[in-house]
Structure 1
């Protein structure tokens, strides 16, 4: 437990790193549904509130719920595509989609909670060659998010010189502060860099205070604001597949964070973490929230700052709850321009990828099989990162697209399967064959010795070198 000042500053830094990831899914989904500005603000507030509850469950926990590690939980962006598909399936009245989505998430969260103690056993299939590949993919797949922020959320447009300048200035400030400062100030260099970048952006006209002026002081996320949950089989199946993807990503994130904090995540820790993910996902729709999973971007923040206290992230969870209950305070975080976030994101996400490379260096890449596993898995994971339309084929089932369109999930599954094929399947048979051959050779040598002795020679038999 850190002193109050450091606890709050560290928590605020995690809020700044996770805020964009929390609010992006409801913003995209709200636009797809066609919500009014007021309802869209309400949906964003609900996402912040439920993300705070999920983070508190993960960091503080109770009973066997919560990994009790410095994990930030929030709305999974992997759910955006299947949820928009549910919206499109509703036809003309798109506002009916939200209750259908909420119903599917409730069922999927409950199912995931039941499966958590069994799903966690997959940790045995995550040796360093797999976990290192997955950690590297987490960082690499997050870097385009940072680039998108630098482009102002419009990756199809050329980046403006103003955005490039703001991102570069923020990046240089963060690196300079990390080099010059010491102690606690060095640990919050990301937060200081974000504040400095925002101040620089004000005279450039890149900071918009409109949301702060229009936001209300207090606003509680009324349960079932958009209507009671509706349960449609197709939506439930889609959300269950999404939940399995989220559980896979959370497992990989817990393994990555365990390496960073020096506390390897075992089956019990992963099971508790998955229970927190799935329980918060099942409860979130009651407050107009969505499926939650671990936020990989905050793993980079832990790696950079080396502040491993889970109470720092618990403070972040408390702040997210407050932001969800007070739109005006939430808007203060929102004034940080996206290019400024992007400049800091290069350091955050790049550090995660570098951590994965460090794990791979100790995973035995000198062996051809391990090198092939890492190379193929990284390639599969990068396909949706490089080309978002690669799997846009009507012949590919939507449930499979959810997995393939997630670089982390696709690369993780590829690494697990290839590790089984190259390092496990057939090994026992091969070992038995070698052992049998050695026994036969030993028997032959003994027979040879016996034959020599049976000939009645005066010379003692010469022992056969084995």
Structure 2
């Protein structure tokens, strides 16, 4: 009678028994599927440095360098999430990249600090990343203070705060230029917007997912005979390069900037928690407390390391979760392959400079869809925020109203101390603070029946 060797009890699971999240695919399919993830999030990765660079006075060449660095650091952060080590990483098909949540506060820091803005921004992100890393195990206890009524408000403000950037791009970007707001510039923006919408309407599958990227390419090609395309950035870029650590100088640590970016980190951690829970359900591996902790640690560590290589704060990219749901490819190693592709693109300055070729009006047309989608995502979150219960509608009204002040009335806080302006000039930061405080006042500090209404909309159960 044959006896099964005892060691087989602990043997590694066979491919047939392996969970789809841990499967490896054939090399060609691994590469093409990873490339699809990169295409779906590429525009979102390079858009923040394209906004922040000019806002803090960087040249086109330096802005292209920032874009390459953002691609490189997004790749590193994605590898931390998908492969992980120790208790770092959700080990799910989770894509990380530059967070839009930090754009408005970083622009506000640029207005306050001028030429020294980039080192101040990087110093603030390093501290915020360290805070997030050590706070990750305890964040579950704080998540109840970030229900959909808060997160939806913040995400909506992120999109609305970025839309003026798209409008400025659509007019040409440079207010002192003679053609600023010309029919040519606005016409190119409108044509690009129409192309993106038509592609989203009629294309299917992979091509539909990269409609914004295809719209940028088509808009740029149309802009060549119009005469508003500049190819000089490609000629100045090298084929191979490395994002030199602290290229813009050693990080500087200013209290006001640190407070502003710490608020952004809490917002990013809240978004990532929701994304981890959603992705766990989609791939059939529900996220537990350890998974959430590892995912948040990867976000925070990626953010803390990112400024070393001249990148910005990193967080989850929700559009890639939709891509996983659509394609049914659940392997985390596919997304890890996408992370390697991002690193390769970051090491090739020409790849980053190609984006610099895209005329600003073309970017503006695509940006209206891109940034508007962020706002729409926030509105979708608010739809599940039990607006009919308690004072949730009032919380949203006051938070968005105060968050819009820096957009609607840029000089509103001109008489306030300069140290406060870094926070006050960011509608996202002020709106987030107001939403948290009002949610505490109305849903946590009142009668038990009000707290019960708040508990019903908590994104994560608290034990």
TM > 0.5: yes
Q: Which residue of 2 aligns with 1:253?
A: 271
Superposed displacement of residue 271, structure 1: 4.1
| Correspondences of 1:346-361 after superposition (within 5 Å) | 346-361=368-383
Task: Indicate yes or no: 2:193 matched with 1:193.
Answer: no
Partner of 1:283: 305
CA deviation digits over 1:181-218, x for unaligned, max 9?
Answer: 22333222222222211111111112211111221111
* 1:260–1:303 CA contact under 8 A, matched in 2: no
The answer as to 2:258 corresponding to 1:237 is no
The Cα offsets for residues 156-188 of structure 1, whole Å up to 9 and x where unpaired, read as: 875221221122112212222222222333222
Pair 1:25 & 2:52 matched: yes
Counterpart of 2:163? Answer: 143
Structure-1 separation of matches of 2:171 and 2:288: 40
1:366 aligned partner: 388
Conservation of the 8 A alpha-carbon contact between 1:152 and 1:338: yes
CA contact (8 A) 1:71 1:294 kept: yes
- Report the 3-state secondary structure (helix = DSSP H, G, I; strand = E; otherwise coil) of the residue aligned with 1:202: helix
- 2:441 corresponds in structure 1 to 421
SS in 2 for 1:408: helix
Which residue number in structure 1 is paired with residue 141 of structure 2? 121
C-alpha spacing 1:260/1:120, structure 2 compared with 1 (3 Å)? closer
Structure 1 residues 378-387 or 358-367, which shifts more?
A: 358-367
Q: Which moved more, 1:371-380 or 1:154-163?
A: 154-163
CA displacement 1:390-424 (0-9 Å, x = unmatched): 223343x51x4333322222222222221221122
Corresponding residue for 1:15? 42
Aligned residue number for residue 430 of structure 2: 410
Which of 315, 335, 345 in structure 2 is aligned with 1:294? 315
Tell me, what secondary structure is at the counterpart of 1:203?
Answer: helix
Q: How far apart in 1 are the matches of 2:439 and 2:61?
A: 50
Q: TM-score, normalised on structure 2?
A: 0.74
- Secondary structure, counterpart of 2:239 in structure 1: coil
Aligned counterpart for 2:235 among listed residues 187, 196, 213: 213
User: How far off its partner does 1:149 sit?
Assistant: 2.3
The answer to whether residue 72 in structure 2 is matched with residue 49 in structure 1 is yes
Aligned to 1:72: 97
Tell me what 1:179 maps to: 201
3-state SS of 2:314 partner = strand
Question: Does the C-alpha gap of structure 1 residues 368 and 108 become closer, same or farther in structure 2, counting only changes over 3 Å?
Answer: closer
* 1:173/1:108 CA distance change after superposition, 3 Å: closer
Structure 2: runs of 5 or more not aligned? 1-24, 452-463
Specify the SS of the correspondent of 1:72. strand
Structure 1-normalised TM-score?
A: 0.74
- 1:100 and 1:422 map into 2 onto residues whose CA distance is 36
Q: Is the 8 A contact 2:31 2:337 kept in 1?
A: no
Aligned length: 411
Taking the aligned partners of 1:43 and 1:379, their CA distance within structure 2 comes to 33
Show structure 1 runs of 5+ residues with no match. Answer: 89-93, 432-466
**Partner residue in 2 for 1:382:** 404
State the secondary structure of the residue aligned to 1:63.
coil
Deviation at 1:247, TM superposition (A): 0.8
Q: 1:153 to 1:55 in 2, by over 3 A?
A: farther
Provide the alpha-carbon RMSD of the alignment: 3.7
Supply the distance in 2 between the matched residues of 1:355 and 1:103 (Cα, whole angstroms). Answer: 30
Of 366-375 and 76-85, the range deviating more from structure 2: 76-85
Change (3 A) 1:245 1:127: closer
Question: C-alpha displacement at 1:314, in angstroms?
Answer: 5.1
CA contact (8 A) 1:303 1:352 kept: no
SS in 1 for 2:404: helix
